[in-house]
Every structure is written in structure tokens, then in C-alpha cells.
Structure 1
């Protein structure tokens, strides 16, 4: 398994969704597949080679608590990651060339733009390549991407199409988007839909360090990086309108934005920083730990998720598990995740969102039964989902090794 993304994110104490995916796969494999597990990583020199299992375990033992809010451990992570990356160059020349039923698992998009390095690794070790494709959003919606990102993502998908034996995707919607790239390729019939799990078992912890106003005003949450694709501008304009209509900030519910500031978002930032009506009515938090996010969601009137496009939608799944009402965009992947358990809205229909917000504020929270939450917890259980991903990789490998043994 490749852990390059986790090493590259050692200076970031707040994980993204893809960070969490790679972490949970690494943790599961350590616990359940250690007898056949080798960790590898990419070096900027264009090499992929082994990193020590015990050193990776130590790294993950620090990274998990840091993500859960342990600030005392933050300074250790970058040094641990640097030492691990440095070992790649040495092990490149000492790592034995494993021949046989080996699988190279890459569950992030890290270094998919470096096909030569991946191809050389696969050739040397006789491995089958099993990447995870999280989404094709930069290609499908280039207007929401950073400059140059659509072209980079095209190169990533070309690498997957040329080198992969199979692919894991988090949703059927992603599989459909990927299908044209897989046409006539070896992985065409080996695209496996494996939804992500969730990290919500820390529910209720971390409350002692909460930084939110305790004045009793109701609030709703929007969770995700502040970037155009997430459609924060819709919500900010609605909140400005609500303040104008009520004539009083204290009579307006709060909107709490959780997520780091991204790119191409000048209009949103201008409103956050300069609009008087939003002051104290819209709060922004860029560095909340996982337990703080869970506690914040549990106390809210609901989650607002007006995104134009998503590959999965972890905040939506998290809200389902916690029994938090949701209003979200009417896009196919959200229907996959939430079924009938969300309010679906056109992401451009401001009046409909205003009505949904008022509905959430009036809604009682007693309708979600413990049995229903248990069903969602089972659906989004991380060990279960990783086990399905490993099973998909093994099934793909078995198919290709069977063909090889028969000379096909």
C-alpha cells in the first residue's frame, strides 16, 4: 500500500476526506492483513519504494491523535514523515523484487501524474495496479478547479486507464463518469463501487474545548472547503437577506462554516470579512478537530450541503449517522448516500433553500430512531468498507492471475 499522501500531509493537522480514506486503509491493513502487507511511498526523484512498517505504525499512532485534537503531538509529524520519505531512496536499491500475486494499492490521487514511476514499480515487482478514483470533478466541472487542474486530472485518468488492473470508486456516479476512460482497457470490467466509511466514534468527546458561542441561538452547519464548487455564496446571500428581514441579528439563526479556505473564492471571502449583516451571524472555523465537528453537528438544527458536484459527500453521510437533518443539492451521488433521508434542492434555487432552512429550524429531532442510526452506522463502518475494498482488489488480482496461468 502506498502512503505518499499521508506523508505529504504531515504538516496539516486537519484531515481532508481523502486523507482519512488513506489513513483508514493503512490502519485496517496493519491490523488485519499485516502478514502480506508492505508499505511504499513516492519520492520526488520519481521513485517508489518500501518504507518500514514499524515506522509507519508509529507515524499513524501520532497522526490519529493529532487529527482528534492533540496539539501537543503536532510538531512530531513533519519530522517523522521526512524520515520516512528519506528511506525511500535507500530502499529503492535494497527492496527485493517481489514476484507473484502482489497488488499495488493507491487510494489517493497522489503521483498519478507520474505514470513512468508507477509503471517502473509495477514492472519490477510484477504487481497489479489497484488505484482509487475519488471523482472526476476537475474534468467535468473545470470552472470550479484551480488553473491547470483539469489538465492534471486528465493525466491522472490516463494513468489509471493505461496501468490499472482494477479501480475502486466511492459511488456509482463516479463509476459512470470514469467509464469512458476505461473503454477497451483491462480495468473496464473491474471497477468496484465501495462507499467510504466514517470516523464518528468520538461523538461527545472534546466538548471541553469547544469554541462556539453558548448563547442558545439555533444554528445550521455547512461543512467543507470554502471554494466555488461548494456554493457557499448561496447561503451567505440568504443569511444577509434573513438579517435584513428580521431587523435584528439576535432573531436570526447562525450559520457556521467549517472548513479551510480554498481557491477562487474572493466573493465569498469579501462577504465574510466585509458584510456587516453577516457579522456574528455567520461564523467561520478553519481548524476544528474531528470530535469538535461531531459535537458541533449534534447540536445543530441541520447540515446544509448546497454543493454543485461531489465524488461522495462525507459530511452528508456523517450527518445521517448522527441523526442530523440535512438539506442538500439534488445531485445523483447524494441520492446514493442519503436515499430518502434528506431534503433535495436545486443548488441555484434560493427561495427553496430559504424554505428548507425554515423547515429545519422548526423540525423536531426525535424522528430518527436508534435502529435507523444503527443501520447507517453499519453502512458507513470504516473496517467493513475497507474490507470490501481489499476484497475487490483480491478479486481483481485473482481474475488476472488466473488468466495469466492459462496463458491468456
Structure 2
């Protein structure tokens, strides 16, 4: 296999800042675990980049995998990288793998990799800012369009996390009159796969919704559904467990969480969960609720099914691609439909829930082994 380089800028930055890994970060960590033993690390800033020495690369990889927040060690690492950037760098051929969207928009980044004899391969997680700009911060659509268009014009290869993402990417390339580089679909493996030995965190039946509280995730709608459930069932209403930090432009959902007295005893909000706690909450839930308007992949759906937990989700193409007909699918604006499904799944002896559990028995989650087998074949074909 060709020499592998991994851009770990985002991973090192977030480690320095003490931030927990996101879904994108977990993908980057998986790539470090797969290729780190023989790879070099790359750090970049606004398109300027440097390749770390073998020793510094291993130091960076070890910190990323361990999650150890060694701020002084990271500062020394970055300082040496900046000094190394001033020296000539070798042009041994190889492949740069870049698993986040950070820095995709700078053409000089691609040019520098070509001068080093490297082919640049980027992962595309989603095009949501282009297709659904109303769910993103102002200006993110233009920034992401620049990232995607620059990658279309200059990347040697692209990895899509789903066929749905690749289809949207192909449509954007055609609309913009840009070429579609060599590409491959390699699905992402769940981080949560094994059940814990712990009993349910609470005695009452409950449902969970997992993800940052933001308009795209449709929390406000779900909280309105829960208010109606409380009005119908009072103290017998199942709990809703909201797992995820409060994000941006989510004031309506926050108002419901903080000020709606109907929800005070019916909703549990958890701002942070360890992987173990998350698995425990998920594995004992009546179902995972996933009412998003749009998703690039939908890892919570995969994780829930991998744990044998039913899912009630929006009827999105990417969900059907990954999970076929196993979950219950409901339009994200169908209030009566969500009410009906939640009430049915709340029952002690729910035939609908049992039916999905039987379907889940046939679910097989994607694995990292399959992902990297696909990727390695793709890289070999590029060579």
C-alpha cells in the first residue's frame, strides 16, 4: 500500500480544547487506529500544511487514541510542526486521507499535497448546508459550498458515507458544472455496539432522542408531541430523555424545556453522557426517536439497532438505505402519526414493538473492517 498521511488538525485542536469527540471525530479516530502504526500526521491551518516527523506523528496518534489532554505536549508538537514547515519536505508518493470538512476550501492545500507527491482523498459527510441552509448558521451555506466545490475541482478522490450522500454530491457537481472525482461509498461503523450489564436508569418506561438540540433535529416538534401526551395520559406518560447539548438557534425548544410546566416531570435532559451511560440509557428505552428533517448518515439509528433497540424515525432516504424497513418511519411533521407510534410503543405488551424487535434480529451493522476493506480497494484502484 502507498504511504498514508492523516490530517489530524481537527482531532488535535478539539483534544487541546477539552471537547468530547463528535461523530466526525470518531471517524477520524478510527482512521488513526487503522493506519496510525505506519502513517504520518499532517497539521494544517487555512490551507498551509506540514507533515509531522515519524516520532511526532506517533505522539499525536497516541494522544488522539488515548484522549489524553496534554496541552503542553500539544503546544510543543505544534511548535515543532511550524518549524518543520519552513524546511523542504520530501516528495515521496502517497495518499493523504482527510476525514473532516475542515480546510477543504483552500486550493493551496491541494497544491501543496501535489508538490509532495500526494493524492488527496477527502471524506464528505453531508451537504446539508447546501440543501437545507435554513437549518444552519448564517453564512455556513456559502462556506460549505466553497469546501465542496474546491474538493470537486481539486481532490483526487472522495469518500461518501452513504449512497444518499454521494447522490446529493453528484447532483451538486452536475449543477455547478464541476467534475466528480473518483469516489467510493464506505459506510460508517457505530461506536456503540455492546450492551452494558446495568439495569434501567429509571423505573418508568422512557424514550430517548439523541443529538445536539438544534432546529434540524426537530426537538421542538417532539416536545410539542410530549406536551400532548401529558395532556392525554397525565402521570402515566412515559418519560422523554433528551441526550445532547444545547446548540444554536434552538430557543423555541429551550423555552419548552425550561418553561413548559407540562413537561417538567415528563422530560429528562442530559447534557453529557459517557459512552457507557449512553448505552445503558439506550438499551433500556422503549425506542429511539429520530424526527430529524435531514441527515447525512444518522449514526444514532445504527447504534440503536446494533443494541437491539427499536427506532421510530423520519422517513428519510438515507435511513431506508441503512436500515431498510426495520424502523417505523413517520413524516417529521406528522404529529398524530408520532403520537400514535409513541403510544403504541409505550404499552407493556406492544405488538408493534415486538414486530420491530423481530425485524431487528436481521439487522447487521456496518463494521470498520468492511469500511477499510472498501477504502483500501478504492485506494489501490486509484494507484
Within 5 Å, which residues of 2 pair with 1:183-262? 183=174, 187-188=180-181, 190-201=182-193, 203-204=195-196, 207=198, 214=202, 216-248=203-235, 251-262=236-247
Aligned to 1:19: 25
Larger CA deviation: 149-158 vs 171-180: 171-180
1:323 to 291, 308, 313: 308
Aligned to 2:168: 177
Aligned to 1:50: 51
Larger CA deviation: 173-182 vs 136-145: 173-182
Distance 1:287 1:109 in 2: 24
1:165 to 156, 169, 179: 156
5+ unaligned residues in a row in structure 2: which ranges?
A: 1-5
Distance 1:341 1:262 in 2: 30
Quick check: 2:310–2:360 contact (8 Å CA) kept in 1?
no
Distance 2:8 2:266 in 1: 40
Aligned to 1:148: 139
Within 5 Å, which residues of 2 pair with 1:85-124? 85-94=78-87, 96-100=89-93, 102-116=94-108, 118-124=109-115
Once the two structures are superposed, what CA deviation does each residue of 1:78-124 show, in whole Å capped at 9, x if it has no partner?
A: 44443333332122234632233x111111101113222x1332232
Quick check: 2:193–2:306 contact (8 Å CA) kept in 1?
no
Quick check: 1:298–1:324 contact (8 Å CA) kept in 2?
yes
Aligned residues between the structures: 371
Report SS of the residue matched to 2:204. Answer: coil
Distance 2:195 2:78 in 1: 34
Cα pair distance change 1:86/1:260, threshold 3 Å: farther
1:48 to partner: Cα distance: 0.9
1:298 to partner: Cα distance: 0.3
1:201 to partner: Cα distance: 4.5
Within 5 Å, which residues of 2 pair with 1:256-405? 256-362=241-347, 363=350, 368=357, 372=361, 376-377=364-365, 380-395=366-381, 397-398=382-383
TM-score by length of 1: 0.84
Distance 1:65 1:99 in 2: 30
Quick check: 2:105–2:151 contact (8 Å CA) kept in 1?
no
Distance 1:371 1:303 in 2: 13
5+ unaligned residues in a row in structure 1: which ranges?
A: 67-72, 399-408
Distance 1:295 1:155 in 2: 41
Report SS of the residue matched to 2:80. Answer: helix
1:389 to partner: Cα distance: 2.3
TM-score by length of 2: 0.89
Cα pair distance change 1:226/1:171, threshold 3 Å: same
Quick check: 1:327–1:344 contact (8 Å CA) kept in 2?
yes
Q: Alignment RMSD, CA only?
A: 2.4
Report SS of the residue matched to 1:376. Answer: coil
1:372 to partner: Cα distance: 3.4
Report SS of the residue matched to 1:28. Answer: helix
1:198 to partner: Cα distance: 1.2
Cα pair distance change 1:325/1:147, threshold 3 Å: same
Quick check: 1:198–1:318 contact (8 Å CA) kept in 2?
yes
Quick check: 1:166–1:186 contact (8 Å CA) kept in 2?
no
Report SS of the residue matched to 1:261. Answer: coil
Once the two structures are superposed, what CA deviation does each residue of 1:163-198 show, in whole Å capped at 9, x if it has no partner?
A: 11111001111111111344475544x221111011
Quick check: 2:195–2:279 contact (8 Å CA) kept in 1?
yes
Structure with the larger RCO, 1 or 2 (CA within 8 Å, 6+ apart): 1
Structure 1 or 2: more helix by fraction: 1
Quick check: 1:47–1:89 contact (8 Å CA) kept in 2?
no
1:287 to partner: Cα distance: 1.3
Quick check: 1:59–1:80 contact (8 Å CA) kept in 2?
no
